[in-house]
Amino acid sequence: MGEAMNQMISRFSRGTNHKRTKLWGLAAVFLLASASVSCVPAPQAPPTPPPPCNEPVCPLATAARARGIYMGAEVNASRLATNPAYAEAVVRNFTSVTPGNELKWSVLRPSPTEWNWGPADSIVEFAEANNLGVRGHTLAWVNESGDQNGLPPWLRGVTDPEAFRTYVLDGVAETVGRYRGRIDRWDVVNEAFVYYNGERAPSAYDRMGPDYIAELFAAAHAADPDASLWLNEVFTELFPDKANAILSFVASLRNRGVPIHGVGLQTHLTLTPEAPAAGSISGLVSRLRSLGVEVAITELDVPLGPLRSEQAQVDTYRQ
């Protein structure tokens, strides 16, 4: 998310004990209410009971699979390789993984002639060995494109528009093509809008022109026509102007035939008067789904905030 994101979160949780449970990369169509994945209402069926569990506490992944929910987590390649307890916890509790930084430009392509595939490869191999899905994150981190986290210094220094476009689009094709059939969904563009309103975030990608987002989606689709392609945004549920701007933007992309299949919501539900109720987010989800796209909660945390009520935190997660 970056430092600016952390500052924004602190605005709603200043002086509190966060006790945050972040489920980063919840690579699921987790629709909060009981909406189905399809945009067509499904017939109501009796709920499927969870499979038998002989343990005192059933693993989270067991409960998620029983309900058809993808439950994902951000993972770190080094920790997976060196910390058996960490790796075991991932397998027990999640059905999908999202590389935290291993697929970002700053790690993946440290120089124009060097690709650092090893860390990302190891995460994909771990997922395949343990029957886990993988969410690719991210092909373009717009809000941090001027920072080391978003683009490496060498690429930020490419000011010629056509040279910059070539590097970016070739990079998308190379990355998505390498994992074709192995990573089935991608956050193509991450945080393209200003955190707190409906304005587009200024970024290095502007060198490609105003339609660069459509170009990025087209390049990803060409590299893997079967992959599900997503726009991932933060605080959409918190600021109505931003929600409306994203709804309008996604509708325009869909109307033009741009291959966008989903919208990810980075969801931070601090327990303060300013924060939306978890249940109210279902309205935003419904509006997005009406455009013909899937919706996923790609980040989720409920800091205690000034209410300092663990029961309220539990109730919010339950919703």
Task: Considering the candidates 74, 144, 294, 299, report the single residue annotated as catalytic.
Answer: 299
pLDDT of res. 41 = 35
Query: What's 273's domain CATH number?
Result: 3.20.20.80
pLDDT in tens, 225-275: 999 999 999 999 889 999 999 999 999 999 999 999 999 999 988 777 666
User: Higher pLDDT residue, 18 or 148?
Assistant: 148
More confident of the two residues 53 and 203:
203
Task: Give me the long-range contacts of 58-67 (CB less than 8 A, separation at least 24).
Answer: 59/92, 59/93, 60/92, 60/93, 60/94, 61/91, 61/92, 61/93, 61/94, 61/95, 64/94, 64/95, 65/95
Is 84 contained in some domain?
A: no
Cβ neighbours for 282, distance < 8 A, ≥ 6 positions apart: 31, 32, 33, 35
Question: With contact defined as beta carbons under 8 Å apart, do 91 and 132 qualify?
Answer: yes
How much is the pLDDT for 279?
60
What is the number of H-type helices and E-type strands within the chain? 12, 7
Residue 236 falls inside a structural domain = yes
Region 115-143 average pLDDT: 97
CA dist 234 and 200 (Å) reads: 13
Q: Which two tokens stand for residue 216?
A: 């990025």
Higher-pLDDT residue of 22, 309 = 309
What's the whole-number mean pLDDT along residues 175-192? 98
Domain that holds residue 306: 3-8+18-31+136-318
- For residues 89 and 74, give the distance between their C-alpha atoms in angstroms, rounded to a whole number: 12
Chain mean pLDDT for the chain: 84
Instruction: Tell me whether residue 53 is in a domain.
Output: no
**Confidence at residue 38, expressed as pLDDT on a 0 to 100 scale:** 28
Task: Assess if residue 223 is contained within a domain.
Answer: yes
Q: Into how many domains does the chain fold?
A: 1
Q: For the chain, what's the residue count?
A: 319
Q: DSSP state, 97?
A: E
pLDDT at 51: 54
**How is the chain split among helix, strand and coil, in percent rounded to 5?**
40, 15, 45
Give residue 62's pLDDT.
Answer: 92
pLDDT category at 319 given cuts 50, 70, 90 is confident
Domain assignment present for 202:
yes
Domain presence at residue 254: yes
Q: Out of 191, 233, 237, 294, pick the active-site residue.
A: 191
pLDDT above 60 for 7: no
- Give, in order, the Cα–Cα distances in Å from 31 to each of 21, 137, 169, 177, 282: 19, 20, 32, 30, 7
Predicted pLDDT of residue 12: 33
Q: How many CB atoms sit inside 10 A of residue 152's CB?
A: 19
The model's confidence at residue 49, banded by pLDDT at 50, 70 and 90, is low
pLDDT recorded at residue 9: 34
Q: Per the domain annotation, does 65 fall within a domain?
A: no
pLDDT mean over 3-18: 37
Segment 291-309, tens digit of pLDDT = 999 999 999 888 887 777 8
Domain assignment present for 93: no
Q: How far apart, in whole angstroms, are the C-alpha atoms of residue 150 and residue 302?
A: 26
Write down the H helix ranges in the chain: 3-11, 60-66, 77-82, 84-93, 105-108, 118-129, 153-156, 161-178, 212-223, 240-255, 281-289, 310-318
pLDDT at 172: 99
Would you place residue 88 in the very low, low, confident or very high pLDDT band (cuts 50, 70, 90)?
very high
pLDDT band at 58 (very low <50, low <70, confident <90, very high): confident
Give the pLDDT confidence score for residue 6 in this predicted structure: 42
User: Is the CB of residue 305 less than 8 Å from the CB of residue 316?
Assistant: no
Decide if 299 is catalytic: yes
CA 124 to chain centre: 17
